[in-house]
Amino acid sequence: MSSDDADRHEFSGPGLSASVLAQGAELCALRDTRGRDFIWPAEPIVGRLRDDTLIHNGRSYRLTQHGFARDRRFAWVERSPAGCRLALADDAQTRAMFPFAFRFEVGYVIAGMTLEVTYRVTNTGEEVLPASMGAHPAFRWPLVPGEPKEAYVLTFEAEEPGPLRGVVGGLLTEADRPSPIVRGHLALNEALFAADALILEHPASRSVRFAAASGPSLTVAWDGFEQLGLWSRAGGDFLCIEPWRGMASPADFAGEFMQKPWLMLIPPGESRSAVYRVTVGAGA
């Protein structure tokens, strides 16, 4: 097996092809049959802890923003022409940051024009596992080079009146931001993200469509995730549509990690799963 084969897996279906890296189990390409790649070609626990510090049983551990899984190399569990599955388990290095036993699996499969991604966290230890997991796909914005970014709209399957939470210094603000989503539609522009991400704490929707009036579209749907984050930055040619199960710490939270809001508390021997799907509409 070549170094590239060990580091990356390419797979495809009738309408799509994809590429996943062992490093971080990261989706790094999603292409249609015309060769259009919809994944932004750069790297974009969920969120941040106050002072990047996890406190458990009175002891402090340094755990930086978005946790450690994205920075670790996963092991290949299954590889097939239509998908793959990868796994990460605790070891001495992870326990120095996160003092719990776990197994985290990420699975990818293509069916038709849809890529399905499954996250599964298992508690392999003898105490409750506090965990969160979040998808961070970054899509090209615009989807077609040369189109104005303002031509794009996010269309939610339900009305999302808000209010929304925001992020300051990587930590959550109160849910006091008026929602810019009007009758289920969010007209996109860079100014929306001038104060960082937009966070729907309890979205009524379970899918959102990203598209302009013509050209390809992406529909992101999810099950098992409870929050949704939307993020870009000034001058950035990407839009992150991120289903989450867990969020960053509130700005005023400094207690024991087990008491952190929005965590999954997984008993020994049990697992929690969540799925998101990206469906490509071919367009003109």
Which CATH number do you get for residue 91? 2.70.98.10
Give the pLDDT of residue 64.
Answer: 56
Closest-CA residue to 255 (of 53, 68, 101, 46) = 53
| Cα R_g (the chain), whole angstroms | 19
Which H helix or E strand runs over 143?
A: none
The residues near 188 (Cβ < 8 Å, ≥ 6 apart) are 141, 149, 150, 152, 153, 154, 239
Give the pLDDT of residue 35.
Answer: 93
Give the pLDDT of residue 220.
Answer: 98
Give the pLDDT of residue 115.
Answer: 98
Give the pLDDT of residue 168.
Answer: 80
Give the pLDDT of residue 108.
Answer: 98
Residue ranges making up the domain that contains 120: 3-281
How many domains does the chain fold into? 1
Q: Which residues of the chain have pLDDT under 50?
A: 1-3, 43-46, 61, 66, 284
Give the pLDDT of residue 225.
Answer: 97
Give the pLDDT of residue 45.
Answer: 44
The residues near 92 (Cβ < 8 Å, ≥ 6 apart) are none
| Cα dihedral value 244, 254, 259, 256, nearest 10 | 120
The residues near 259 (Cβ < 8 Å, ≥ 6 apart) are none
Which H helix or E strand runs over 90?
A: none
Cβ atoms of residues 46 and 244 within 8 Å? yes
Its pTM stands at 0.88
Give the pLDDT of residue 1.
Answer: 46
Give the pLDDT of residue 273.
Answer: 98
Closest-CA residue to 230 (of 117, 152, 151) = 152
CA-CA distance, 82 to 166, in Å (whole number)?
Answer: 37
Summarised one tens digit per residue, pLDDT across range 142-173 is 999 999 999 999 999 999 998 999 888 778 88
Provide φ and ψ at 215, rounded to 5°.
Answer: 90, -175
